[in-house]
Amino acid sequence: MSDVPAPVVHQHAPPTGFLRKYVFSVDHKVIGKQYYGLALVSVFLGMLLSWLMRFHLVWTNAAIPGLQVLSKNGAPGGVMTPEYYLSLLTMHGTLMVFFVLTNAPFAGFGNYFLPIQVGAEDMAFPRFNMMSFWVTFLAFLVLVTSFFIPDGPPTSGWTAYAPLSAVGKDAGPGLAWGQNLWAISIGLFCVGQLLGSLNFIATTLDLRTKGMTLSRLPISTWAWFITSCIGLLAFAVLLPACVLLILDRVAGTSFFIPAGLVISDHLQPHSGGSPLLWQHLFWFFGQPEVYIAIVPAMGIVSHILMASMRKPLLSVKVVYSSMIAIGFLSYMVWGHHMFLSGMNPFSALVFSFPTLVITIPATIITMIWIGSIYGANLRFHTASLFSLGFISVFVAGGVSGFFLAQPSLDIYLHGTYFVVGHFHMVMGVAAIFGILAGTYFWFPKMTGRMMNDTLGKIHFWIPFIGVYCIFMPFHFLGFAGNVRRYSTFVDDYLQPLLPLHKFISIAAFITGAAQLIFLYNLIYSRFKGAPAPQNPWEATSLEWTTTSPPPFDNFGGRHVVVNHGPNEYGVKGAHGDFIMQDSAEPEPAGD
Amino acid sequence: MSSVALKPERGSQPTAQTSPALSGVWVAVAAITMSFAAFTSSLIIRQASGNDWRHLALPGILYLNTMVLLASSLTLEIARRKQISELAGTRSWLYLTLALGSAFLVGQGVAWRQMRGQGLYLATSPNSSFFYVLTVLHALHVLGGLLGFLYVIRRTARASVWRAVTADAAAVYWHFLAGLWVYLLLVLRTRL
């Protein structure tokens, strides 16, 4: 359309005053830390909820001191009711999937490092960026408010299936205002994510510095860019779903509620709606969402592994092409969550095929990691340990997906602990390992101090063993027919499984407690950690060319010019076995 | 800076110099398209799921509103081209676009009142539910676009190299909304 000179994003002067510098800041680095902080609060809250659940499953009639203070109705005398168990389960899932796994690896690290890695001074739309965080924070506040209302949080799960989520208070505790707050919170979260994706895409396309072609982008930037494209289209579908759900709940419409429902002896006034419609809308968002959770971690892990191995991956181009393929295929597989919903078995087959196909790019990426590590002289520090751990848990959790992808097997396994084991390992644990790898790797850049590596390694090994103790037995429980989302196991066939549940719960408490080591390390190192050199890992990407922490405009007024790709490891450079992206050295011979 | 010749990446392109405003608005267009696609799918599924689909007659004013909105697209395009060729009168055409856009919203308000006059409210039938959902959400996006115009008008008041690209981005958004409305009208006409 029109001729424009190089865009000048940095139209805001350095902020003054506490509020502008640390609270309502348009600086992408502050916003990234704010997202990370929100994710940190959410993950500890979500973990606490999981402890409450695991305790109740094993010691069902035991009182949990203080729980009755949180909910008089949900936990009389400190013993939680089955409905309250479902409330905690719903909040655990919602907090973890939305406020941890979408926030930290994508909005957190992505906001902080994407502009720096492309050589820009800030995101394309700094004020939209600030708005995206505060909308997300508001969503968090709205969600946790549901703990403090008399009826408590909703009981419909993070998936909020209709008609349970749509009918209102007749369906039980938590489904009046608790569910309303959930729907409003998630609707707000969608808006925050859409604004965030807008920034990531525009910044990656338009604010790359001179010489930073798309093929020279670091793999982590590719991952954030691909994730933002996936997220843009996915959250744009969840938002309408939340709108329709709210209308069913407060305006008397019948999008999701069929006719003739009698709940608590009340005939519901709605008719004609389709509960399956909610499932289609939700899972059309939900499956891309799990890739939104994992692709940034794949990018972070790839980025860290190259710096740790001192050699590039076998093919970075194939890795990000596979990520693109995953993103594309993720929109075709949503029905694999609905094999038992009553939909046509032929359509189950149609969804099963791309579900199996999507394992191919994921396997390609995994094989490239493993093939690249083979024969490498790997530097073992906490970040690289967590990266290796990521590969381990991703594979361990991923292989159970092959089983679930087949409708004939899913008939048995759906709704059992097999599914719970699968998604916790492949998405939950793997993404957390990616977040932790990123934390240990980028902490020196963000704070100018090193985290304690000994504590970091202890922090790695306890959860690494712990998560296997917790989630691998879940697969066995699923095979044995252990149904998920039950608050107590009273059936005869479940009694022999109780000792295993006890083992899992104890493993969960220990694994959770080990996170305190991380928290201590994080806070102590922030103030008392050893001063970090500018490039402690001898990495090549642009964030390591600037000070730690970076100045307000990222590069101190310097206009960065990129001359190399980000994967120049294992080559003869002026400063060692690597060449930084902005180095004026020539390309190594034979390249 | 080194004077050593550096081998370019094979197949690399020069760093893009496109405007973030234009990229941003196309991204927003993609997201809004996806949202209305979700609503359309919901309508189709809902129509098939129950036996309570009761045909309703669309208020006639909707067709007049459509003409008004398309006219506003035309006036905006005139404003934009005048700006490119630096002919006078840009601001007048922008103000006219603003007025026509506002008239569209007023007309939609009249349509909603006419629907209520026929006893068709949000929850009366699934048809009326989708009518209100689709038209109200589109109107909210139009309102956002009008606020964007006020911003464009403010920016074109100052001599700045950003004038053209800001107006271009607003034009993409506005033409998209006009096209979206035509699509929605077709859906409402054929399905409701």
Q: What is the pLDDT of residue A488?
A: 94
Q: What is the pLDDT of residue A306?
A: 97
Q: What is the pLDDT of residue B150?
A: 85
Q: What is the pLDDT of residue B163?
A: 66
**Nearest neighbour of A125 by CB, restricted to B24, B46, B122:** B24
Is B11 in Cβ contact with A254 (below 8 Å)?
Answer: no
Q: Is B133:A243 a contact under the CB 8 Å cutoff?
A: yes
Asked if B85 reaches chain A (Cβ–Cβ under 8 Å), the answer is no
Residues of B in contact with A207 (CB under 8 A): 20
> Domain B21-49+60-191 belongs to what architecture?
Up-down Bundle (1.20)
Closest CA to A500 of A61, A82, A58: A58
Residue ranges covered by each domain of chain B: 21-49+60-191
Q: What is the pLDDT of residue B3?
A: 34
Q: What is the pLDDT of residue A1?
A: 37
- Count the domains in chain A: 1
Beta strand extents in A174-300 (DSSP E only): 262-263, 266-267
Is B15 in Cβ contact with A5 (below 8 Å)?
Answer: no
Examine the pLDDT at B128 and tell me if it is beyond 60.
yes
Q: What are φ and ψ of residue A536, in 5° steps?
A: -65, -25
Q: What is the pLDDT of residue A496?
A: 96
Side-chain half-sphere CA neighbours of A562 within 13 A = 31
Residue A531, preceding peptide bond in cis (omega within 30° of 0) = no
Residue A549, preceding peptide bond in cis (omega within 30° of 0) = yes
Residue A542 lies in a domain: no
Q: What is the pLDDT of residue A182?
A: 98
The DSSP code sequence of chain B is ---S--PPPTT--PPP---HHHHHHHHHHHHHHHHHHHHHHHHHHHHHH-S-----PPPTHHHHHHHHHHHHHHHHHHHHHHHHTT-S-HHHHHHHHHHHHHHHHHHHHHHHHHHHHTT--TTT-HHHHHHHHHHHHHHHHHHHHHHHHHHHHHHHHS--TTHHHHHHHHHHHHHHHHHHHHHHHHHHHHH-
How far is Cα A222 from Cα A110, in angstroms, rounded to an integer?
10
Please report how the helices A82-94 and A177-206 are oriented relative to each other, as an axis angle in degrees rounded to 10: 10
Asked if B47 reaches chain A (Cβ–Cβ under 8 Å), the answer is no
Q: What is the mean pLDDT of residues B32-53?
A: 94
What would you measure as the largest C-alpha separation in chain A, in angstroms?
80
Residue A511 lies in a domain: no
Q: What is the pLDDT of residue A591?
A: 45
Does the pTM surpass 0.90? The reply is: yes
How far is Cα B186 from Cα B192, in angstroms, rounded to an integer?
10
Is B7 in Cβ contact with A586 (below 8 Å)?
Answer: yes
The enclosing domain of A157 has a CATH number of 1.20.210.10
Residues of B in contact with A241 (CB under 8 A): 38
**Nearest neighbour of A587 by CB, restricted to B6, B45, B51:** B6
**In this structure, how many other beta carbons lie within 10 angstroms of the beta carbon of residue B132?**
21
Asked if B145 reaches chain A (Cβ–Cβ under 8 Å), the answer is no
Residues of A in contact with B22 (CB under 8 A): 1
Examine the pLDDT at B88 and tell me if it is beyond 70.
no
Q: What is the pLDDT of residue A30?
A: 96
Distance of CA A405 to the CA centre of its chain: 22
Residue B39 distance to chain A (closest CA, Å): 7
Q: What is the pLDDT of residue A297?
A: 97
Q: Which two tokens stand for residue B82?
A: 């005048």
> What DSSP state is assigned to residue A162?
T
Examine the pLDDT at B90 and tell me if it is beyond 70.
yes
Q: Which two tokens stand for residue A171?
A: 């369906």
Residue with tokens 């089983």: A403
Q: Kindly report the average pLDDT of chain B as a whole number.
A: 86
How far is Cα A8 from Cα A358, in angstroms, rounded to an integer?
40
Q: What is the pLDDT of residue A68?
A: 92
For residue A573, the cross-strand partners are A576
Is B6 in Cβ contact with A4 (below 8 Å)?
Answer: no
Q: What is the pLDDT of residue A499?
A: 97
Q: What are φ and ψ of residue A274, in 5° steps?
A: -125, 110
How far is Cα A170 from Cα B6, in angstroms, rounded to an integer?
71
pLDDT tens digits for range B132-153:
999 999 999 999 999 988 887 7
Res. B4 pLDDT band, cuts 50 70 90: very low
Query: Could you give the percent of chain B with pLDDT greater than 70?
Result: 85
Q: What is the pLDDT of residue B87?
A: 64
Q: What is the pLDDT of residue B8?
A: 37
Is A210 in Cβ contact with B15 (below 8 Å)?
Answer: yes
How far is Cα A33 from Cα A35, in angstroms, rounded to an integer?
5
Q: What is the pLDDT of residue A9?
A: 47
Examine the pLDDT at B6 and tell me if it is beyond 80.
no
Examine the pLDDT at B11 and tell me if it is beyond 80.
no
Q: Select from A254, A347, A561 the residue whose CB has the most chain B CBs within 10 Å, as the one to mutate to test that interface.
A: A254
Residue A546 distance to chain B (closest CA, Å): 17
Residues of chain A with pLDDT under 70: 1-12, 589-591
Residue of chain A whose alpha carbon sits nearest to that of B171: A1
Q: Select from B33, B42, B138 the residue whose CB has the most chain A CBs within 10 Å, as the one to mutate to test that interface.
A: B42
Written as one letter, the residue type at A427 is: M
Closest CA to A25 of A578, A574, A552, A573: A552
Asked if B28 reaches chain A (Cβ–Cβ under 8 Å), the answer is yes
Residue A141 lies in a domain: yes
pLDDT tens digits for range A410-446:
999 999 999 999 999 999 999 999 999 999 999 999 9
- 3-class DSSP assignment, residue A266: strand
pLDDT tens digits for range B101-116:
999 999 999 999 999 9
Residue A515 distance to chain B (closest CA, Å): 38
Note down the domain range covering A111: 26-259
How far is Cα A497 from Cα A476, in angstroms, rounded to an integer?
10
Examine the pLDDT at B160 and tell me if it is beyond 80.
no
Q: Is A542:A581 a contact under the CB 8 Å cutoff?
A: yes
Q: What is the pLDDT of residue B50?
A: 78
Is B14 in Cβ contact with A213 (below 8 Å)?
Answer: yes
Residue A515 lies in a domain: no
Q: What is the pLDDT of residue B2?
A: 36
Of B91 and B179, more confident: B179
Q: With left for phi above 0 and alpha for psi between -120 and 50, is residue A157 left, alpha or beta? A: left
Residue of chain B whose alpha carbon sits nearest to that of A256: B46
